[in-house]
Amino acid sequence: MPIQTDKHHLSLSHLIIQPQNMFIKKLSFVGLLLCSFSFYAQDYFPKNDGVRADKNNNYTVFTNATIHVSATETIKNGTLVIQNGRVISAGKSASAPSNAITIDLDGKSIYPSFIDIYSDFGVEKPKRPSGRGRGSQYEATREGFYWNDHIRPETEAITKFEYNSKTAKGLLEAGFGVVQTHHHDGIARGTGLLVALNQEGTDANRILESRSAAHYSFDKSRLSRQTYPSSKMGATALMRQLHQDIDWYRKGNVNTKDLAIEAIINNEDLPKFFEGDGLYDAIRIDKIGDQFNKNYIIVGGGDEYKRIDEIKALNRSFVLPIKFPAAMDMKDPYAASNVALEDMKHWNQAPSNPKWMEDNGINFALTPFSLKSPKDFKANLMKAIARGLSKEKALAALTSVPAAMIGKSEEIGSLKNGTWANFMIASGDIFDSKTTVYEHWIQGAKTVIKDMNITDVDGSYAFILEGTTYTLDIKNSTAKATGTLKKGDEKVDSKFSYKEGWVTVSFAPSDKKYIRLSASPQGNLLTGKAILTDGSEQAISATKGTLVAEGDDTAKGKGRGKGKKGEAMSQEVMPLTYPNQAFGFAQQPSQETILIKNATIWTNESDGVLTDSDILLKGGKISAIGKNLSAGGARVIDAQGKHVTPGIIDEHTHIGAFSINESGHNSTAEVRMADVVNPDDIDIYWNLAGGVTSAQLLHGSANPIGGQSAVLKMKWGASVDEMVLEDKKFIKFALGENVKQSNWQSFSRFPQTRMGVEQVFVDYFQRAKEYQALKKSGKPYRKDEEMETLVEILNGERYISCHSYVQSEINMLMTVADNMGFKVNTFTHILEGYKVANKMKEHGVGGSTFSDWWAYKYEVNDAIPYNAAIMHDAGVVVAINSDDAEMSRRLNQEAAKIVKYGGVSEEDALKMVTLNPAKLLHMDDRTGSLKVGKDADVVVWSDHPLSVKARAEQTIIEGTVYFDKARDKELRKKLQEEKSKLTAMLLADDSGGGGKGGRKPPVWKDKQRMHCDTLETQE
């Protein structure tokens, strides 16, 4: 949660332009700053091409207008007075000064100009440097800046700004009069500027603010190839470290220059925009903001509605791009059958996102950002309004809200006295599709969009040409005029236009012979001439007659009208589920009191396996185990002939993650898997269907020192925070081929050999010790997120799970650990553990291995399926893990293989996927066995749990049934129903989806299967 105090702060300091940046080389820029300071005060500019005659203090007065002063204040039949580009007054009856030009608006509407708060208008696009270096680049390329090239806060968009009147015109037509634009490049992106789209003035007039806000994102700069961060969790960690480094620098502890950090310090008082890619980025941004007390305004992605409660709880302001997914083309049933429910629902639900944000009281601005053209903006906005976004909120989200976000409420975003005279003149309600916008005034300068002085020529006109009587019906002549030529009741193919006061019609009464008409309105007459088929001319004059109403014509409609019909059909908005995709629940499942009766119960305790017994789950805990337990009010599951075991625990998984490896550095102890948990991954549900209740989501094995794990409970539909067990602190280490990058073309990063791997550990732990000593000494120290993590390891507060294969490296790490004074908690994979089982026992490290994987790379040549049995016999705590989304859902079978290979008892084998991983994850106090008082993490199996035939029938976590075979059947049915409903809606939809592009081909997900060595992710 952010601090409330300065959320919409307004700093006076940035109303005054400060040419304070010493490092700007462009002299012209300094000149420009000075100009903008003196909008109507160019008196001091020398003039050599004439005499001074540029002063104009006349007033412009707009009368008879419906003035929308702001989203909440409307003046009917009002008068707006402007002078020198600013609003002097807006009121019921303002008296016009004598030097006023009066414009009678005849009932038209005036709206304040929209503000695009998140634009790249006029700012040069970042270009990748040409040429491609061989290998990865690990170091920063710039001197005198931060150690990471993707931190570019010193970028000032104004130095890359060039006003583009063509783009401006498009924006003005779409309703936008002021934009806040910046250089969309890098993680820290520097400052934006606020520009009025004044087509007549110069930058001296237009630039309202040269440093309007500071900008951030998770995207790396295109201008550098520095590899770190290679993942979103790396970018998140980088933001954290950056703030630590700012603090350290600010305190004067750095004796070199860091212009990037200085820029951040200088811009501290600016509003901060942080661009995300949707829901989960928003949560990530919020967490960074909370930790460092930053009031980030979050630029959203349009899927916030999926977990609106969580978004609401962030209590932050949003900027929402109003972009909706295009309808998929479902005509080819084969291709269409692959489109995921999730994507179909997003198409259906996304237009309701603004409404749901409004309903939940979340403050947001709207932006056309990420649309192909601002032209698509209105159609999308209308869609959102059709879904229930209120017009007041829509107007506020385009005017007062963005103005307040950058502390400019007194200048823009309304038509209060003293604001810039930025407004539109429209035929009526700006949020009506039929409304025409005539003029857009910015700082008192007018851009005509549609001539509002067009004479209304609507009516029916009769002509006699070459002996035939024709009627011409003209409609909608002040907006998009249409004309229909008829001969009696028969429609004649004709071309019609009404432009610049002239009506022209051409048609061919006989083959390839044309008659052309050209006429202009004179009062009630349309007079002009006709050029007949033989080329002769005839004067014409027709009196306006009343149009015969043709009710069916409007209903049939064309273009827009038809689109609306389709839109109306697709108005049914599908309900949200938890999570909002296939196999999501209509309601979050809740904790129950459950009595499982007559089962064979595998306790994993001294009681062993109990037959014909009952187990009572209550309050999320195991409340009793025994025979003939009384149900009380509990729901009874009859498990006659079935088996009950503790939930399966996977010590090593990579499901439910947006990224796996931060491979930009060889040590990344600062990154956290908890930052990239994807609670919507269907693999979580599939794991539940395999009896899995908990897992360690590990960082990958790209680096000797990897990132921090997230230990999860598989609570499908719950939030990330509800899933992650925050007190379980683990970290991934890795050895062998992956960390030395043996199996792909990479030769520049240390280490390239197992020899080097050892030195990485020695180096980092030596530094961690020194860091801790300094920290304890009370002297100032630079807070280092990476070192903090390693210190936790040294202090026994964080446990290592180390990816390992061959005996030499296993021995090496144990030796380094002994020498440096830390413990290795678990060797994961540990395929040659059987060769050093006695040493593992001595060190007290557990082994979490595969049952039978081998042969896939050189270092697993000696992997044997008897590994677990030998380690187990030697007294090592052994777990069987998956590292694989497929295997993780049948770990019970993998445990069974340990009975086959090496003759471990069935009970001990089952422990290898339940109690033992619980021990290795230091959670055996609450799960891993069936014991009164422990978490009710329980699986009901159809058969002996080690049998290939066994299927999980219920998977229960803390007393909540997250998987139920019978319910799964229901969900399958519901899924098909929802898909066929949505398919029908998609087929009926002809609105062209999110933009002009129309339908998009059916595109469906390419689900990435992630393992230890997954370097790049789709993110």
Partner 1 sequence: MKTLQYILGSLVALFSTVAIAQQTPAPVQTGAITIEGATAHIGNGQVIQNAVITFQNGKITNIGTASGNSSGTVINATGKHVYPGFIATNTTLGLVEVGAVRPSNDDDEIGEMIPHVRALIAYNAESKVVESMRPNGVLMAQTRPLGGRISGTSSVVQFDAWNWEDAAYRADDGVWLNWPSSVTRGRWWLGEEPGFKPNKNYVKDIEEVNTFIVNATAYAKGNTDQNLAFEAMKGVINGSQNLYVAANGEREIRDILNFKRAMNIKNLVLVGGYEAPKAAKEIAAASIAVIIQRVQELPNTSDDDYDYNYKFAIDLVNAGVTVALGYDGEYWQVRNLPFYAGQITGQGMSDEEALKLITSNPAKILGIESTAGTLEVGKDATLFISDGNALDMRTNNISKAFIQGRDISLESHQTKLYKRYNTKAQNGQ
Q: Which stretch binds partner 1 (CB under 8 A): 43-51, 408-416, 465-473, 1003-1011?
A: 1003-1011
HSE toward the beta carbon, residue 555, CA cutoff 13 A? 4
Taking the complex as a whole, the smallest distance from the CB of residue 306 to partner 1 amounts, in Å, to 15
Taking the complex as a whole, the smallest distance from the CB of residue 856 to partner 1 amounts, in Å, to 4
> What is the per-residue burial (b if ≥16 Cβ within 10 Å, else e) of 292-307?
eebbbbbbbbbbbbbb
Figure out which of the listed residues 358, 567, 683, 786 binds partner 1, where binding follows CB under 8 A: 683
DSSP H helices, 251-374, are 259-266, 279-292, 308-314, 333-336, 341-349, 353-359
Figure out which of the listed residues 337, 469, 541, 611 binds partner 1, where binding follows CB under 8 A: 337
Map the footprint of partner 1 across residues 858-917, applying CB under 8 A: 858, 861-862, 864-866, 870, 873-874, 885-887, 889-890, 893, 896-897, 899-900, 902, 906
Figure out which of the listed residues 410, 785, 968, 990 binds partner 1, where binding follows CB under 8 A: 968
Nearer to partner 1, 630 or 745 (CB): 745
Q: Which stretch binds partner 1 (CB under 8 A): 311-319, 445-453, 533-541, 1000-1008?
A: 1000-1008
Nearer to partner 1, 996 or 1007 (CB): 1007
Q: Looking at this protein, which amino acid is placed at residue 594?
A: I
Map the footprint of partner 1 across residues 53-82, applying CB under 8 A: none
Cα(107)–Cα(111) distance, integer angstroms: 13
Map the footprint of partner 1 across residues 784-823, applying CB under 8 A: none
Q: Which stretch binds partner 1 (CB under 8 A): 328-336, 390-398, 476-484, 930-938?
A: 328-336
Taking the complex as a whole, the smallest distance from the CB of residue 891 to partner 1 amounts, in Å, to 12
Map the footprint of partner 1 across residues 713-752, applying CB under 8 A: 737, 742-743
Cα(518)–Cα(495) distance, integer angstroms: 12
- Binding flags for partner 1, 162-181, as an x/- string (CB under 8 A): --------------------
Cα(930)–Cα(912) distance, integer angstroms: 15
Nearer to partner 1, 336 or 365 (CB): 336
Is 974 a binding residue for partner 1 by CB under 8 A? The answer is no
Taking the complex as a whole, the smallest distance from the CB of residue 705 to partner 1 amounts, in Å, to 23
Angle in degrees, CA 839, 840, 846, rounded to 5: 175
Cα(769)–Cα(821) distance, integer angstroms: 10
Figure out which of the listed residues 386, 479, 547, 975 binds partner 1, where binding follows CB under 8 A: 975
Q: Which stretch binds partner 1 (CB under 8 A): 209-217, 253-261, 330-338, 414-422?
A: 330-338
CB 671 within 8 A of CB 629: no
Taking the complex as a whole, the smallest distance from the CB of residue 817 to partner 1 amounts, in Å, to 21
Q: Where are the beta strands (DSSP E) in 819-959?
A: 826-829, 846-849, 878-880, 938-941, 952-957
Q: Which stretch binds partner 1 (CB under 8 A): 227-235, 809-817, 918-926, 997-1005?
A: 997-1005
Q: List residues bridging with 151 in a β-sheet.
A: 188
Q: Which stretch binds partner 1 (CB under 8 A): 77-85, 507-515, 638-646, 684-692?
A: 684-692
Nearer to partner 1, 474 or 876 (CB): 876
Q: With CA atoms as reference, report the closest residue to 215 among 307, 121, 145, 152.
A: 152
Is 1006 a binding residue for partner 1 by CB under 8 A? The answer is yes
Taking the complex as a whole, the smallest distance from the CB of residue 904 to partner 1 amounts, in Å, to 12
Taking the complex as a whole, the smallest distance from the CB of residue 94 to partner 1 amounts, in Å, to 54
Is 335 a binding residue for partner 1 by CB under 8 A? The answer is yes
Map the footprint of partner 1 across residues 618-677, applying CB under 8 A: none
Taking the complex as a whole, the smallest distance from the CB of residue 300 to partner 1 amounts, in Å, to 20
Nearer to partner 1, 417 or 742 (CB): 742
User: 3-class SS at 681?
Assistant: coil
Question: Token pair of 242, please?
Answer: 């950056």
Figure out which of the listed residues 55, 125, 372, 972 binds partner 1, where binding follows CB under 8 A: 972
H-helix or E-strand spanning residue 296: strand 296-299
Question: Token pair of 63, please?
Answer: 């009368």
Is 977 a binding residue for partner 1 by CB under 8 A? The answer is no
Cα(455)–Cα(522) distance, integer angstroms: 10
Nearer to partner 1, 732 or 890 (CB): 890
Cα(446)–Cα(521) distance, integer angstroms: 27
Map the footprint of partner 1 across residues 930-959, applying CB under 8 A: 942-944, 946-951
Nearer to partner 1, 429 or 852 (CB): 852
Torsion angle of the four alpha carbons 113, 116, 117, 120, in this order, in degrees rounded to the nearest 10: -140
> What is the full DSSP assignment across 149-202?
TTB-TT-BGGGGB---HHHHHHHHHHTEEEEEE----SSEEEEEEEEE--SSS-
Nearer to partner 1, 444 or 945 (CB): 945
Q: List residues bridging with 181 in a β-sheet.
A: 119, 193
Nearer to partner 1, 14 or 897 (CB): 897
Map the footprint of partner 1 across residues 273-292, applying CB under 8 A: none
Nearer to partner 1, 337 or 541 (CB): 337
Cα(898)–Cα(323) distance, integer angstroms: 53
Nearer to partner 1, 143 or 1006 (CB): 1006
The one-character DSSP state at 328 is: B
Q: Which stretch binds partner 1 (CB under 8 A): 213-221, 301-309, 931-939, 995-1003?
A: 995-1003
Taking the complex as a whole, the smallest distance from the CB of residue 664 to partner 1 amounts, in Å, to 16
Nearer to partner 1, 524 or 743 (CB): 743
Map the footprint of partner 1 across residues 537-596, applying CB under 8 A: 581-583
CB 840 within 8 A of CB 874: yes
Figure out which of the listed residues 342, 439, 473, 935 binds partner 1, where binding follows CB under 8 A: 342
Nearer to partner 1, 342 or 989 (CB): 342
Figure out which of the listed residues 332, 451, 770, 977 binds partner 1, where binding follows CB under 8 A: 332
**Number of chain residues interacting with partner 1 (CB under 8 A):** 73
CB 848 within 8 A of CB 881: yes
- Binding flags for partner 1, 110-149, as an x/- string (CB under 8 A): ----------------------------------------
State how far the alpha carbon of 122 is from the alpha carbons of 129, 216, 271, in Å.
21, 19, 21
Burial (CB count <10 Å: 0-12, 13-18, 19+), residue 933:
exposed
Cα(397)–Cα(116) distance, integer angstroms: 10
Is 1001 a binding residue for partner 1 by CB under 8 A? The answer is yes
Q: Which stretch binds partner 1 (CB under 8 A): 160-168, 264-272, 512-520, 681-689?
A: 681-689
Map the footprint of partner 1 across residues 484-523, applying CB under 8 A: none
Map the footprint of partner 1 across residues 184-243, applying CB under 8 A: none
Burial (CB count <10 Å: 0-12, 13-18, 19+), residue 982:
buried
State how far the alpha carbon of 636 is from the alpha carbons of 258, 597, 965, 967, in Å.
67, 7, 16, 16
- Under 8 Å CB-to-CB from 801, ≥6 apart: which residues? 651, 652, 696, 698, 709, 730, 731, 732, 733, 825, 826, 827, 828, 848, 920
State the Rg of the chain over Cα. Answer: 35
Q: With CA atoms as reference, report the closest residue to 290 among 266, 265, 314.
A: 314
Q: With CA atoms as reference, report the closest residue to 179 among 153, 159, 154, 198.
A: 198
Map the footprint of partner 1 across residues 687-716, applying CB under 8 A: 689
Nearer to partner 1, 54 or 332 (CB): 332
